[in-house]
Each structure stands twice: as structure tokens, then as C-alpha cells.
Amino acid sequence: MRELITQPAWPVLQADLRRDVPEIWLAEVARLLPELSEALEAQTAVRPAEEARLWEGVHQFIAALARHKPLVFFIDDLDWADASTLALLGYLARQAGGGSIRLLATLRLITPRAPMAASSRR
């Protein structure tokens, strides 16, 4: 998402995002992507971070992007994701519905190296 501002279509997309995504949600996205806050002229959220607001901000931002063309989110090595990231992805998957947003992830199953580790995973 950080590379959006380097894309040739960014000027048009930038104007549409400013128009289509309410400021409150742009401010939440700016928590994760500060470089976009400047490009979108969004104020960084001053409220304490709330996970639900952040998730909805990311959803609103992604939904606005998907209105331009179908969007595929590719997450590599999902096995390295922390609990918060997995929860956000779950939220986005539930919100995507039948729209033009697709989530695709790769996961590597890790085989325990020691018998003790194998017994603790069951």
C-alpha cells in the first residue's frame, strides 16, 4: 500500500480517495501509513488507537481503492503474522463479501524439530 504514491495513476486515485473516504478513516489509515497521510492531506488521528476503528479505517480505504478496479491483497508468509494482523485480515475477509476485494495468502507449515515440540502442538 505504501507504493500507491509511486504509481502513474496516483494523482487520480489521490483525488478520489480524498473525496470518497471520510477524514476520520483516512486519519486511522495514517496510523499505519504515515507517508499516505501527507499525500492525502489527512490529519493523523489524535485519539488513542482503538483496534476496531483502525480496522474500519483500513477497510474503508481498501473499499475505496477497489471501486476503481478489482483489488487483490497478497500476504506472503502468513505464518509470521501476529495475532493483531490475523484479526485485521479476518475482519477484512468478513467485510469483503462478494465485492471486488480478494485476499490471498501463503502459509508455510512448520515441522517441529524436536519430539517435545511436536507433542506440545497437539
Residue 91 burial by Cβ neighbours in a 10 Å radius (0-12, 13-18, 19+): middle
Q: What is the pLDDT of residue 5?
A: 81
Beta strands in the chain (DSSP E): 71-75, 101-105
User: Residues 69-110: pLDDT tens digits?
Assistant: 888 889 899 888 899 889 999 998 888 766 788 888 998 877
User: Residues 30-81: pLDDT tens digits?
Assistant: 888 887 777 777 666 556 668 888 899 999 988 888 888 888 889 899 888 8
The structure's pTM equals 0.74
Instruction: Answer yes or no: is 102 within a domain.
Output: yes
Instruction: Answer yes or no: is 10 within a domain.
Output: yes
Q: What distance in Å separates the CA atoms of residue 82 and residue 89, rounded to the nearest whole number? A: 11
% of the chain surpassing 70 pLDDT? 83
Instruction: Answer yes or no: is 17 within a domain.
Output: yes
Domain that holds residue 56: 2-108
Instruction: Answer yes or no: is 98 within a domain.
Output: yes
Instruction: Answer yes or no: is 121 within a domain.
Output: no
Q: How many domains is the chain partitioned into structurally?
A: 1
Instruction: Answer yes or no: is 6 within a domain.
Output: yes
Q: What distance in Å separates the CA atoms of residue 7 and residue 68, rounded to the nearest whole number? A: 14
Instruction: Answer yes or no: is 117 within a domain.
Output: no
Phi-psi region of 46 (alpha: psi -120 to 50; beta: other; left: phi over 0): alpha
What Å distances lie between residue 4 and 7, 8, 39, 46, 52, CA to CA?
5, 9, 10, 24, 24
Instruction: Answer yes or no: is 31 within a domain.
Output: yes
